[in-house]
Amino acid sequence: MEKLTALEASISKLSETEYAEFREWFLNYENERWDSQLEKDITDNKLANLASEALEDYKKGNFKDL
């Protein structure tokens, strides 16, 4: 928790430009982590059941057009 408190304090002291740069970096970092986790889940076959269920529902007409 100490690290988080220090991080929060540091972020609150950033200039507008520095904050914008930090925010862009963090969004990219977060997206890369998300992509990595999704790729791992696909590799580990964790999404196969969800895909099968979705296809079965589609075949049965259990869906709504977006």
26-45 per-position pLDDT tens digit: 999 999 999 999 999 999 98
- Host H or E run for residue 2: helix 2-12
pLDDT at residue 33 in the model: 98
Handedness of CA 40, 43, 49, 50 (dihedral sign): positive
C-alpha span between 66 and 60 (Å, rounded): 17
Range of the domain at 44: 15-60
Q: Are 49 and 57 in contact (CB under 8 A)?
A: no
Whole-number percent of the chain with pLDDT over 90: 79
The answer as to whether 36 is a domain residue is yes
The answer as to whether 25 is a domain residue is yes
50 has pLDDT over 90 = no
The answer as to whether 32 is a domain residue is yes
Kindly report the average pLDDT of the chain as a whole number. 94
The answer as to whether 22 is a domain residue is yes
66 has pLDDT over 90 = no
pLDDT at residue 49 in the model: 86
Tally of domains in the chain: 1
